[in-house]
């Protein structure tokens, strides 16, 4: 049995509790004291009954089968109600994998850190394309997401007329032809110091990566670019916190 006394937790962010507060406010303007007391008691009963079930259960954490538990501010349509999360945080389950779609990209959600509002994603193209190279710089304008400062940058150079000499890069064989080369590198600046001119390349893209987790430098050097892209990167999110609600045993 979970009952919530919203008056004790002013930040409890359920729309129902707001409604209740509004009603109490309105009632107190229109009724004298004895009536107010009765009506408040009824309201309290109604609140107790309502908050102990459907809304609370509707937002219990779910999973797609693999991956992290999905809860506020994330939510799974048809499994959880829209009030359990925010529109940008909609998770779709595909073959038991949690997928987040932004207007331009589709990401596999690898992990969610609810404690510091961040999560790890990898572009699903990396898993599906034959030549899974990033062809654009991600932008997260008009979303609640920002790059975490934990990420490194991996730069991809495409259709370059020469290859850097004496400099270790990740080969991108699937994006080259008989006369032009493509490669990836973590240190764009170091490459420039080697007098490699990026003008030799048709275009360049930078992708963030979080390789701190579980990957050390020596194993990083042995990986190829697809394996590296699959480690994914970290995004921070901003959404109203619901610590107060959860501490009280509720869910927002
Ligand atoms: C967020 O939390 C996760 C898991 O505890 C941790 O691995 C990660 O480093 C944290 N991120 C930041 C920026 O503190
Ligand atoms: C992301 O969150 C972490 C931990 O909360 C913080 O250290 C870091 O500065 C944040 N990065 C951005 C770009 O907001
Ligand atoms: C990666 O690139 C972004 C955007 O260009 C920049 O803000 C960030 O500082 C870079 N991170 C590192 C670790 O160089
Ligand atoms: C490199 O050039 C070839 C031939 O013009 C083109 O088909 C290919 O898409 C280019 N590669 C990239 C990654 O743009
Ligand atoms: C390779 O790609 C470059 C860049 O698009 C193009 O200029 C060149 O003609 C291509 N070479 C061959 C042999 O197809
Ligand atoms: C790069 O070019 C500059 C100017 O031409 C030269 O002084 C420098 O030694 C070169 N650096 C390397 C690493 O070749
Ligand atoms: C990606 O961003 C870099 C600068 O960080 C820029 O030089 C490059 O042209 C951009 N690539 C594309 C395809 O927009
Ligand atoms: C790096 O990681 C690999 C595999 O994850 C492990 O075998 C190796 O001992 C590690 N090396 C160092 C220096 O930690
Ligand atoms: C990268 O390495 C993985 C695992 O060793 C392998 O399955 C994959 O074919 C490699 N990809 C490329 C592009 O070399």
**Which neighbouring-strand residues pair with 155?**
185, 206
Q: How far is the CA of 146 from the centre of ligand 2 (A)?
A: 9
Peptide bond before residue 9 is cis, with ω within 30 degrees of 0: no
First-residue to last-residue Cα distance in the chain: 16
Banded model confidence at residue 248, pLDDT cuts 50, 70, 90: low
- Kindly list the protein residues whose Cβ atom lies closer than 6 A to any atom of ligand 2: 116, 118, 146-149, 236
Average pLDDT over residues 14-38: 41
Residue 20 has pLDDT above 60, yes or no: no
Within the chain, strands assigned E span 91-94, 97-101, 106-113, 118-123, 145-147, 152-160, 170-171, 181-185, 203-209, 233-237
Residue nearest to atom 2 of ligand 6 (CA): 195
Ligand nearest to the CA of 113: 1
Residue 31 has pLDDT above 50, yes or no: no
Q: What is the pLDDT of residue 187?
A: 86
Query: pLDDT digits over 65-114, tens only?
Result: 999 999 999 999 988 888 888 889 999 999 999 999 998 899 999 999 99
Banded model confidence at residue 10, pLDDT cuts 50, 70, 90: very low
Q: What is the pLDDT of residue 249?
A: 60
Strands of the 181-185 sheet, one edge to the other = 170-171, 181-185, 152-160, 203-209
Give dist(CA 220, CA 135) in Å, integer.
Answer: 22
Q: What is the pLDDT of residue 19?
A: 39
**Can you give the residue ranges of every domain in the chain?**
16-55, 58-133, 152-234
Average pLDDT over residues 4-14: 38
Residue 53 has pLDDT above 70, yes or no: no
Query: pLDDT digits over 163-190, tens only?
Result: 888 888 899 989 888 899 999 999 888 8
Query: Higher pLDDT residue, 43 or 131?
Result: 131
Candidate from 130, 132, 222, 226 with most ligand 9 atoms within 8 A of CB, to mutate:
226
Q: What is the pLDDT of residue 104?
A: 87
Residue 27 has pLDDT above 90, yes or no: no
Residue 245 has pLDDT above 90, yes or no: no
Q: Is the beta carbon of 159 within 6 A of some atom in ligand 4? A: yes
Cβ burial 21-59 (10 Å sphere, 16+ → b, else e): eeebeeeeeeeeeeeeeebbeeeeeebeeebeeebbeeb
Residue nearest to atom 3 of ligand 7 (CA): 205
Q: Is the beta carbon of 113 within 6 A of some atom in ligand 7? A: no
Give dist(CA 125, CA 50) in Å, integer.
Answer: 44
Residue nearest to atom 9 of ligand 2 (CA): 149
Q: Is the beta carbon of 131 within 6 A of some atom in ligand 7? A: no
The bridge status of strand 91-94 relative to strand 170-171 is: unpaired
pTM, two decimals, is 0.77
Mean pLDDT score of the chain, rounded to an integer?
Answer: 78
Ligand nearest to the CA of 190: 6
Taking the CA of residue 194 as reference, the ligand 6 atom at the shortest distance is 13
Average pLDDT over residues 223-251: 79
- Kindly list the protein residues whose Cβ atom lies closer than 6 A to any atom of ligand 3: 152-153, 206
């Amino acid at each position: 049995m979970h009952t919530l006394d919203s008056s004790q937790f002013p930040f409890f962010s359920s729309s129902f509790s707001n409604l209740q507060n509004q009603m109490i406010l309105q009632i107190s303007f229109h009724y004298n004291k004895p009536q107010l007391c009765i009506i408040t008691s009824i309201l309290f009963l109604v609140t107790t009954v309502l908050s102990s079930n459907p809304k609370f259960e509707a937002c219990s954490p779910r999973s797609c089968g693999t991956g992290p538990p999905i809860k506020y501010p994330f939510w799974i349509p048809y499994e959880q109600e829209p009030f359990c999360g925010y529109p940008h945080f909609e998770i779709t389950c595909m073959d038991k994998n949690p997928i987040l779609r932004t207007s331009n990209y589709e990401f596999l959600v690898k992990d969610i850190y609810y404690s510091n509002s961040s999560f790890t994603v990898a572009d699903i193209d990396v898993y599906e394309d034959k030549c899974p190279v990033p062809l654009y710089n991600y932008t997260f304008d008009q979303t609640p997401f920002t790059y975490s400062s934990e990420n490194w940058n991996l730069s991809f150079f495409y259709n370059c007329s020469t290859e850097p000499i004496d400099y270790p890069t990740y080969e991108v064989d699937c994006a080259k032809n008989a006369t032009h080369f493509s490669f990836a590198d973590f240190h764009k600046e170091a490459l420039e110091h080697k007098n490699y001119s990026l003008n030799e390349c048709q275009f360049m893209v930078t992708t963030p990566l979080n390789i701190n987790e579980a990957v050390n430098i020596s194993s990083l050097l042995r990986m190829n670019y697809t394996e590296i892209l699959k480690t994914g990167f970290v995004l921070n999110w901003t959404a109203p916190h619901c610590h107060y609600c959860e501490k009280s045993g509720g869910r927002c």
